[in-house]
Chain A
Amino acid sequence: MDQHDQSHAHDRHAPIQGSTEDTYYEQRTWAIQALLVEKGIVTAEEIRRQIETVEARTPADGAKVIARAWVDPAFKARLLRDAKSAVAELGYDSGEAPVLVALENTPKVHNVVVCTLCSCYPRALLGLPPDWYKSLNYRSRVVVDPRSVLKEFGLELEPDVEVRVYDSSADMRYLVIPERPAGTEHLSEAELADLVTRDSMIGVTNARAPEPYSGRKAAAPA
């Protein structure tokens, strides 16, 4: 967002700072980078390439993993048992964290992920985290009052649904498997993947509902 938007940016999930000057930690990062290059430990090109790789990741990969889990129960079982190996089957690298854990949402259990200490996030499968995920606001409030935070995201859960907040503060990265929306039996795996959004894999919302039919009826069950 540009500077002119700042005055309108004080919504609940806005980043807590928008300064254009390098912060202390940014300056420190640049200084360390300059030293590493100067000492020949890494090259500027290697750093640039790594940043490019990281920033090229998108939630589309995660969405494909989820769609496969929806259509293939055996894959879903493997994903829940050992997500890192399961996503590797599909040709995805789940990143630097030693362990990837998949959490299945059901009609009775809703999982949502946060990192209260920083911004741990399954970047290899979801890309860079959204600003709100890193905000002090989300990180503190989703732990203390998850239902209100989910409501602000547009998701109101019934009292009998168990909300499970996962604080990913160590070596685990968590990926939520949202519930497969109703009325999607006829969709292909690729069409299903389109319904899986970034936010639904963090757990702050559900997967998108499919486009309603315009007068076309689903085939009757055989």
Chain B
Amino acid sequence: MAAKFQPGDRVRVRVGSPPGHFRTPAYIQGKSGVIEALHGAFANPESLALGGDGRPSQFLYQVRFEQTHLWPRYPNSLQDKLLIDIYEHWLESA
């Protein structure tokens, strides 16, 4: 299966707290960013944590966010970024 997003695409992180284990921190949920890189497909940690086989594997992206978008009090003059790796099923087009 092909990756849904490409570097440069704008995405939004889904909001949710499924039971069990997930690796999408709350601070990034609901935020919009840009795909910086596609890392490849990896076993789904939410399945692995419950003793599953991690399949279907998920594409994993490095997503770039403006710090001023994440934190209202971040000084506007700064170009600082936050980069985090997010699995595809947590992303939607923005």
Q: With A144-B71, A162-B80 in contact, is A117–B25 under 8 Å at CB?
A: yes
Contact B85 A116 (CB under 8 A): no
Q: Does any Cβ of B come within 8 Å of A167's Cβ? A: yes
Q: Which of B24, B40, B83 contacts A164 (CB 8 A)?
A: B83
Contact A170 B60 (CB under 8 A): yes
Separation of A20 and B71 alpha carbons in the complex (Å): 37
Contact A116 B25 (CB under 8 A): yes
Residues of A within 8 A of B83 (CB): 164-167
Residues of A within 8 A of B78 (CB): 147, 159, 162-163
Q: Does any Cβ of A come within 8 Å of B15's Cβ? A: no
Q: Does any Cβ of B come within 8 Å of A143's Cβ? A: yes
Separation of A145 and B27 alpha carbons in the complex (Å): 13
Separation of A117 and B85 alpha carbons in the complex (Å): 12
A interface, size bucket: 20 to 34
Separation of A22 and B85 alpha carbons in the complex (Å): 33
Q: Which of B39, B45, B80, B82 contacts A172 (CB 8 A)?
A: B39
Residues of A within 8 A of B79 (CB): 162
Q: Which of B25, B42, B83 has the most CB of A within 10 A?
A: B83
Separation of A98 and B45 alpha carbons in the complex (Å): 13
B interface, size bucket: 20 to 34
Q: Chain A interface mostly helix, strand, loop or mixed?
A: mixed
Q: Does any Cβ of B come within 8 Å of A129's Cβ? A: no
Residues of A within 8 A of B45 (CB): 170
Q: Which of A147, A164, A167, A170 contacts B87 (CB 8 A)?
A: A170
Separation of A164 and B87 alpha carbons in the complex (Å): 20
Separation of A12 and B42 alpha carbons in the complex (Å): 36
Contact A171 B25 (CB under 8 A): no
Q: Which of B23, B40, B81 contacts A169 (CB 8 A)?
A: B23
Separation of A74 and B23 alpha carbons in the complex (Å): 35
Q: Determine how close the nearest CB of chain A comes to the CB of B89; give it in whole angstroms.
A: 13
Q: Does any Cβ of A come within 8 Å of B94's Cβ? A: no
Q: With A171-B39, A172-B39 in contact, is A165–B81 under 8 Å at CB?
A: yes
Q: Does any Cβ of B come within 8 Å of A146's Cβ? A: yes
Q: Which 7 A-B pairs have the closest CB atoms?
A: A170-B85, A167-B84, A163-B80, A162-B79, A164-B81, A171-B42, A165-B82
A positions within 8 Å CB-CB of B: 98-99, 116-117, 143-147, 159, 162-172
Kindly list 15 other residue pairs between chains A and B, CB separation below 8 angstroms, not including A162-B80, A165-B80, A171-B60: A98-B42, A99-B39, A117-B25, A146-B80, A159-B77, A164-B80, A166-B83, A166-B84, A167-B25, A167-B28, A167-B82, A169-B23, A170-B23, A171-B85, A172-B62
Can you spell out 15 A-B residue pairs with CB atoms less than 8 angstroms apart? A98-B42, A99-B39, A117-B25, A144-B71, A147-B78, A159-B77, A159-B78, A163-B78, A165-B67, A167-B83, A169-B23, A169-B25, A170-B60, A170-B86, A172-B85
B positions within 8 Å CB-CB of A: 23-25, 27-28, 39-40, 42, 45, 60, 62, 67, 71, 74, 77-87
